[in-house]
Amino acid sequence: MALKVNQAVTIHYSVKDDKGNKIDSSEGNAPLSFISGMQQVIPGMENNIEGMLIGSKKTFTCPAEEAYGDYNENALQVVSKSEFPAEIKLEVGLSYVMNDGQGRQIPFVISEVAEENVTLDFNHPLAGIPLTFDIELIDIREATKEELEHGHVHGAHGHHH
Ligand code: ZN
């Protein structure tokens, strides 16, 4: 079941990939605040917070399609090496950001290097990976009109102006 939209949600979280490697955590930092229904967090997060009580904890695993999406073979692109400036190192695993000409920054990883060409992978680095979260619900309430206009949570756990 999906979380109601326009809720100001504050959580502490820690997230691991399917091999148990820790990817990210709010431990030692401020908790994460977001407004539900605005695609500020992955869908699996909102689905699992539904019904939780303030102060409670939960561990859950999001399949890739509820996290950063399935791995898409069509997001691979073969490009001639000559299209890159000479100072760019072309090695497997290096990541760069490309400007799409419309002001958007598109990150990619070099996934293969051949004699003439390189293969660029435009998938999100976590595409295709199920993620396991440990979360603690610090607070949940209706977002205020001002928070909805700004698109972020205000107050103790949120944004300060
Ligand atoms: Zn604001």
For residue 148, how far is its CA from the centre of ligand 1 (angstroms)? 9
For residue 96, how far is its CA from the centre of ligand 1 (angstroms)? 31
Three-class SS of residue 115? coil
Strands (E), 6-116: 7-16, 22-25, 32-35, 57-62, 76-80, 95-99, 105-113
CA dist., res. 35 & res. 4, Å (int): 10
For residue 158, how far is its CA from the centre of ligand 1 (angstroms)? 9
Give tens-digit pLDDT for 15-65.
Answer: 999 999 999 999 999 999 999 999 999 999 999 999 999 999 999 999 999
Q: Mean of the pLDDT values across residues 135-155?
A: 95
**What value, to the nearest 5°, has the Cα angle with vertex 76 and ends 64 and 46?**
20
The torsion angles phi and psi of 102, rounded to 5 degrees, stand at -120, 25
Give tens-digit pLDDT for 88-131.
Answer: 999 999 999 988 888 889 899 999 999 999 999 999 989 999 99
Give tens-digit pLDDT for 53-96.
Answer: 999 999 999 999 999 999 999 999 999 999 999 899 999 999 99
The pLDDT value recorded for residue 1 is 59
